[in-house]
Every structure is written in structure tokens, then in C-alpha cells.
């Protein structure tokens, strides 16, 4: 099923024509729970990986002093809660069976932390075939992007440490099975397996903090007393996406310059904690059911169950000069 972003409630570039040349398009990926295989574009699904290539591990995080949650415990708990919330229930009674309640309570809703033994294998986060997103930026000759992370804290933002891989799918003649790490640091850093429904051509404008002062003031003057918030309603699309603009939210944008060559980097991939505001906000795809027809768990606008920090986004920037230059990550 396709997912379609509704037209913006206001054509802001017609109101403020100086914004028109700043328009960029993004590809909203629209992940939705499913059972992806290595042949699919996915979030949190198995990756197409050659048997003769070692699976990457994180050298910074080794056990046994490090503890985390068992992904199988987290998945079992999610399954129980999904089934429980989907059943008809009598008011005043538990929505779980006594066995389910005992299991969920035994995990304390978040799981029992277990020690890690050795280096932790990286976790599959995203796999994107160029056939599903023809505009995917990629090194010549490749047609598959793979994103993996170590769920434990990396860098100043204390976010998962991301690795990007590009490959040519037809060169993977004998694939290996995807290994899953024995533990993950947080429930929110274990992506739920999702299939993607990419929507290209979503038009975005810079967050207000990225506009020059004069234009930012005119945007603020336009917002005054009106019904719409420029930033959240008209400028930056929420959710997992390629390209577009960064959702600079709790701090002013800082220059994202390549550590290798100094070039200004561009937003490449956004990993978001939610796909829209959860209600009937203007970024909610047209195909979504009305709020009172949506499942109670997991919530429709949080299909990946990824939670960056406390409901923020992870923005991955790339150098325009070379795919070999290291990417940058920012939490917003």
C-alpha cells in the first residue's frame, strides 16, 4: 500500500517567495510493521550480506561488564502486548492473560539486563534497494544501502554508533544469515521489523533556525495569530526519510563539516522516533485510519518502536565529495 503525504495546508512559498529557491525534496520511507526478508527494503529486517564477509562488531563495547536487554525478551514482550491490546476486553479486567502478565511483569516492562560476552555484533537498522528508491545517493555501481548500529552509547550525543555499507546486490551470490546481538542497550534501539513504502518528492523548507534573520522574522510575523506553525506544519517532514532538511529542534544548527575535507555536509538519512504527531496532524499519510480506528499498541505513528533519546531524531549527514569520507550524526 502506498502512503501519501497530504498537500501542505498552506503553500508557504507562495506567501514568502524567498523560500521557493530553498525548497528541497525528501523521500519519506513510511516504515510499517511486516516480515521483511533480506530481499526487501526494510527497517530492522535481515540484511543481504555475503557469507565470506565478517559481520561487523563494535570494538568499543565488549563484555562482560556491559549489560543489556535480550532482543528475544523485548520481541516476546512486544508480541504479547500487541496481541493483548488487539483482543476484545471486558472493562475492569486485565488485557493480558495471567501467563502473559507474569511474563511481562517478570521483565519489568523493559527486560532483565544480561551481561555481554565479547564484542557485540552490529544490529541491522535499515536496508534500502535502489530499485525502491531510484534517487538513493550511492557510489557508482552500487544499488544497496545498509545501515547498522551498535546500540550502546557513542560520541557526545550518547547515541548508537552507526555504520553505513553500500554494495551491489547481485554480487552477493551466497548470502549469510543475519546474526542478532545477544543484548541491546535500550528497548528503543531495537527496531521492529518493518517494510518500507517510499514516497519521493516530499517538498521541504529549512527549519527556522537555518533561515537568515530577516526571513526568519518574516516567517515569525506570518505565523503570528495564524493557525499554522511554519516549522512543524510546513517546513520539515517528520519520520524516517532520505534527504530534505534537518529537524533542528532543541539547539541552533551548527556547521556539519566533513572531518576529512571540510566540505559542508548534507542531510542524508533521518531516523525518527515517530512518523507524525500521532493525531491528525498534516503529515499523517492520507491512507491512515482515523485515530479511533487505530490499534492501541504499537501506536500507528511509532511503527519502528525506535526511540532516539527521548523522542528525538538521529540525523545522519554525508559528505558531497566522497562516500568514503566519514558520516556525521546529530541528535535533534
Residue numbers of the site for Zn ion (CB under 5 A)? 58, 60-61, 150, 152, 161, 258, 260-261, 263, 319, 321, 325
Nearer to Zn ion, 70 or 302 (CB): 70
Nearer to Zn ion, 43 or 319 (CB): 319
Min separation Cβ 62 and Zn ion, Å: 9
Nearest one of 263, 266, 284, 286 to 275, comparing CA atoms = 284
Min separation Cβ 325 and Zn ion, Å: 3
Q: Is there a contact between 322 and 150 (Cβ–Cβ < 8 Å)?
A: no
Min separation Cβ 151 and Zn ion, Å: 8
Nearest one of 170, 164, 163 to 139, comparing CA atoms = 164
Three-state SS across 81-112?
Answer: HHHHHHCCCCCCCCCCCHHHHHHHHHHCCCCC
Min separation Cβ 126 and Zn ion, Å: 18
Phi, psi values for residue 45, rounded to 5°: -105, 175
Nearer to Zn ion, 152 or 312 (CB): 152
Q: Is there a contact between 332 and 315 (Cβ–Cβ < 8 Å)?
A: yes
Distances (CA, A) of 7 to 178, 237, 283, 324, 330: 39, 12, 9, 37, 29
Min separation Cβ 22 and Zn ion, Å: 23
For 50, which DSSP code?
B
Q: Tell me if residue 31 falls in helix, strand or coil.
A: coil
| Cβ density class 199-230: b for 16+ within 10 Å, e for less | beebbbbbbbebbeeebbeebeeebeeeeeeb
Min separation Cβ 252 and Zn ion, Å: 23
Nearer to Zn ion, 171 or 260 (CB): 260
CA 147 to CA 160: how far, in whole Å?
Answer: 12
CA 211 to CA 51: how far, in whole Å?
Answer: 48
Q: How far is CA 129 from the centre of its chain?
A: 16
Q: Crossing angle, helix 71-86 and helix 98-107, to 10 degrees?
A: 140
Phi, psi values for residue 158, rounded to 5°: 55, 35
Min separation Cβ 239 and Zn ion, Å: 26
Nearer to Zn ion, 161 or 278 (CB): 161
Q: How far is CA 288 from the centre of its chain?
A: 19
Nearer to Zn ion, 119 or 288 (CB): 119
Min separation Cβ 176 and Zn ion, Å: 21
Nearer to Zn ion, 80 or 258 (CB): 258
CA 169 to CA 97: how far, in whole Å?
Answer: 45
Min separation Cβ 328 and Zn ion, Å: 10
Nearer to Zn ion, 107 or 120 (CB): 120
Nearer to Zn ion, 152 or 283 (CB): 152
Amino acid at each position: 500500500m502506498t502512503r501519501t503525504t497530504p498537500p501542505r495546508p498552506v503553500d508557504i512559498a507562495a506567501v514568502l517567495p524567498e523560500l521557493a529557491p530553498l525548497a528541497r525534496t525528501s523521500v519519506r520511507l513510511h516504515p510499517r510493521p511486516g516480515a521483511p526478508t533480506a530481499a526487501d527494503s526494510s527497517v530492522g529486517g535481515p540484511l543481504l550480506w555475503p557469507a565470506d564477509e565478517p559481520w561487523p562488531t563494535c570494538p568499543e563495547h565488549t563484555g562482560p561488564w556491559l549489560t543489556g536487554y535480550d532482543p528475544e525478551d523485548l520481541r516476546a514482550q512486544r508480541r504479547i502486548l500487541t496481541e493483548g491490546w488487539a483482543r476484545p476486553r471486558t472493562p475492569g479486567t486485565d488485557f493480558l492473560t495471567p501467563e502473559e502478565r507474569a511474563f511481562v511483569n517478570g521483565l519489568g516492562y523493559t527486560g532483565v539486563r544480561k551481561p555481554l560476552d565479547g564484542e557485540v555484533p552490529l544490529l541491522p537498522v535499515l536496508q534500502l534497494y535502489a530499485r525502491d528508491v531510484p534517487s538513493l545517493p550511492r557510489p557508482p555501481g552500487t544499488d544497496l544501502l545498509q545501515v547498522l548500529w551498535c546500540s550502546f552509547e557513542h560520541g557526545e550525543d550518547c547515541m548508537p554508533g552507526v555504520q553505513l555499507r553500500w554494495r551491489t546486490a547481485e554480487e552477493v551470490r551466497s548470502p549469510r544469515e543475519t546474526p542478532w546481538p545477544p543484548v541491546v542497550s535500550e528497548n528503543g534501539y531495537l527496531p521492529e521489523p518493518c517494510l518500507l513504502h517510499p514516497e519521493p518528492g516530499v517538498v521541504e523548507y529549512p527549519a527556522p533556525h537555518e533561515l537568515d534573520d530577516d526571513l526568519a522574522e518574516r516567517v515569525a510575523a506570518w505565523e503570528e495569530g495564524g493557525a499554522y506553525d511554519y516549522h512543524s506544519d510546513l517546513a520539515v517532514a517528520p519520520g524516517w526519510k532520505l534527504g530534505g532538511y534537518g529537524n533542528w529542534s532543541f539547539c541552533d544548527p551548527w556547521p556539519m563539516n566533513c572531518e576529512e575535507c571540510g566540505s559542508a555536509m548534507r542531510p542524508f538519512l533521518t531516523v525518527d522516533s515517530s512518523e507524525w504527531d500521532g493525531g491528525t496532524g498534516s503529515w499523517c499519510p492520507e491512507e491512515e485510519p482515523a485515530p479511533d480506528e487505530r490499534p492501541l499498541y504499537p501506536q500507528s505513528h511509532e511503527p519502528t518502536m525506535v526511540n532516539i533519546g527521548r523522542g528525538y531524531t538521529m540525523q545522519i549527514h554525508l559528505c558531497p565529495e566522497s562516500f568514503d569520507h566519514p558520516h556525521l550524526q546529530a541528535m535533534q
